[in-house]
Amino acid sequence: MSNIMPLIRNETIKMVKKKRLYIIFIVLAVLVPMFTYAQMKSAENNRDKFGGDWRLELQQAITDNQNSLGSDRVPEEYKKYRTVYIQQMQYYLENDVNPKEPNGVTFTREFMNNAVGLFIPLLIMAIASDLVSGERTTGTIKMLLTRPVKRWKVLLSKLVTLIMFVSIIVVSAYIICYVISGAVFGYKGFGMPIFTGFKVVGTDVDLSAVHAVDQWLYLLMQAGLIWFVSVIVAILAFMVSVLVRSTAASIVIMMAALIAGTILTNMAASWQSAKYLFMVNLELPDYLSGGLPPIEGMNLGFSLIVLSVWGIASLIVSFLVFTKRDILN
């Protein structure tokens, strides 16, 4: 392993020199203030409407969703989501906890929860999709493979570097969200209780395992799941980068898969076998908050196993192709 470290160092230098890495941070620094401003205006409107009484606001949200359940214009699938939402909000109301208390920590939790399905994977894809194909396009892969180092070590150094930068991006997203939103809503909220352990059974919520955790602990669990999702997406993009010669084709393939996953998540309730697709299993933090799974029967353990299988299979394909195929032509 001693000759891997110089390779990792070399890959790190190449990654740091890429402009797209800094574009990712710029995108976060531009978009997070926009979402923060939108959240601030929403909070102001609700404060004017309900006089700052969060219980009244939550009760109104419950009533609105209850009224929509009787409408024929609301699809049955949306009614299931609203039924689960009503039961969860009633639990928060009965236990005197405001799930949307405006502060930097709550904003960060909500933003990352919404970003894990598409936004974060797209950022990860931007650095993972050209790790090998980009070097084949420019021809630098030939110079790399002429060194007296086994090919699997070359690929392993790229993979290790990729996981390092995926971790940096996930942590940076949390820090940027917290710092920017905290400047508007305040930096308190780490000790606020959040309920987890909701178990969806059909259209009902099993409350027997529900318990309160501090928001900092919830945030830590959420970050672990988002990091896992990000690594799997990075490994898949890494495999595509090995399989295709063109960076553009690599990006288009991954982008199409991720966007298709977003559409399938909303439409796949009646397509049972879709639960084995990686893109339908990306929203792992929903299991923490007790959201309705995209397909009945899915749970956190199932999604972790499906994503792990996709990740392991992608690694096997990547190393087999890279070590056996004539990459130089």
Q: Which of 219, 225, 204 is nearest to 287 (CA)?
A: 225
- Angle among Cα 163, 275, 126 to the nearest 5 degrees reads 30
- Per-residue pLDDT tens digits for 165-186: 999 999 999 999 999 999 999 9
State residue 132's pLDDT score.
Answer: 85
* pLDDT confidence band for 307 (50 / 70 / 90): very high
State whether residue 96 is helix, strand or coil.
coil
Whether residue 196 is predicted with pLDDT greater than 90 in this model: the reply is no
216-220, 227-231, 254-258: lowest mean pLDDT where? Answer: 254-258
CA end-to-end span of the chain: 28
- Angle among Cα 105, 109, 110 to the nearest 5 degrees reads 120
Whether residue 218 is predicted with pLDDT greater than 90 in this model: the reply is yes
State whether residue 323 is helix, strand or coil.
helix
Spatial contact of 8 and 150, defined as CB atoms under 8 Å apart:
no
State residue 176's pLDDT score.
Answer: 96
pTM of the model: 0.90
Q: How far apart are CA 149 and CA 7, in angstroms?
A: 9
- Where does residue 162 rank: exposed (0-12), middle (13-18), buried (19+ CB within 10 A)? buried
State residue 310's pLDDT score.
Answer: 97
Average pLDDT, the chain: 88
Which has the higher per-residue pLDDT, 276 or 208? Answer: 276
Output DSSP code: residue 275: G
Q: Which of 234, 223, 222, 228 is nearest to 258 (CA)?
A: 234
Which has the higher per-residue pLDDT, 3 or 210? Answer: 210
Which has the higher per-residue pLDDT, 23 or 80? Answer: 23
- Per-residue pLDDT tens digits for 82-141: 888 888 888 898 888 888 888 999 999 999 999 998 899 999 998 998 888 888 777 777
